[in-house]
Amino acid sequence: MIKLERLTKRFGDTTVLDGIDLEIQQGEIIVVIGPSGTGKSTLLRCLNFLEQPDGGRLTLGPLNLDLTQASKSEILAARRHTAFVFQNYALFANKTALENIAEGLIVVNRWPRAKAHQRAREILERIGMSDKANAYPASLSGGQQQRVGIGRAMAAQAEVILFDEPTSSLDPEWVDEVLALMKQLARERQTMLVVTHEMAFARDVADRVVFMEGGRIVEQGPPSELFHAPQDPRTRDFLRKVLPAAEPL
């Protein structure tokens, strides 16, 4: 179980996250939606300590941390419980697909190279890219690069995978293959916290959809409720803008 309490993040005089409370149960798929610039990606980055929070507490497995005072060892422990999938893939250009997946296991988990490479081969088979084990990122399509990025997160066997708009940098023809892999993980009940603009994915896959605006959680609930009968006028206004006209609230 993951529990965030009163998470706050400021950039200068601007409060980007304003007292976020959120709980995620094991095996739950949470999708976060909302206007651009409302703190969705910052929420994920604070969870993984890619950004330093200005306030709040985090319970993550056995860890219970004051987010403003976490030590280096506590941050490393928290990162072992999470895996991050970036918008722009964040692959090492000088490493093959296999090496990109194995790198975290070798550097962070201290696995022997042979064991890490065997795990990477297993992951490549699961994501349908065994034939690309020795390919470098420059020779892969955007969709293939993002699948390697997801494979790297899968290899870590983290308690939760954090997806930061994983399809936003993709050409339209590559979006479906990435979403298909994410749906596969959802069927396997991998705990996932996903920031996305893919409303169909949120509707079909999420156990719970969280709507954020202005650095706060405005409303949350099952997709059947939030998409069809949102309670807050800000949620209704947002959904009217992003959902096709043929899909009434």
| 163 in Cβ contact with 85 (< 8 Å) | yes
Task: Tell me what percent of the chain is helix, strand and coil, each rounded to the nearest 5.
Answer: 40, 25, 35
How many domains, the chain?
1
Question: Would 20 be classed as within a structural domain?
Answer: yes
Residue pLDDT, tens place only, 104-161:
899 888 899 999 999 999 999 999 999 999 999 999 999 999 999 999 999 988 899 9
Question: Would 177 be classed as within a structural domain?
Answer: yes
* Sheet of strand 55-60: strand arrangement: 14-24, 2-11, 55-60, 63-66
Band of pLDDT at residue 247, cut at 50, 70 and 90 = low
| CATH number, position 77 | 3.40.50.300
Domain of residue 139, residue span: 2-39+49-59+70-197
Statement: residue 246 has pLDDT above 50: no
Question: Would 213 be classed as within a structural domain?
Answer: no
Residue pLDDT, tens place only, 161-209:
999 999 998 888 899 999 999 999 999 999 999 999 999 999 999 999 9
| 129 in Cβ contact with 180 (< 8 Å) | no
Residue pLDDT, tens place only, 25-77:
999 999 999 999 999 999 999 999 999 999 999 999 889 999 999 999 999 88
Question: Would 207 be classed as within a structural domain?
Answer: no
The two three-digit tokens of residue 234, written as one number: 């800000």
* Percent of all residues in the chain with a pLDDT value above 70, rounded to a whole number: 98
Question: Would 161 be classed as within a structural domain?
Answer: yes
Task: Please state the pTM of the whole predicted model.
Answer: 0.92
Question: Would 145 be classed as within a structural domain?
Answer: yes
Question: Would 27 be classed as within a structural domain?
Answer: yes
Question: Would 243 be classed as within a structural domain?
Answer: no
Statement: residue 245 has pLDDT above 60: no
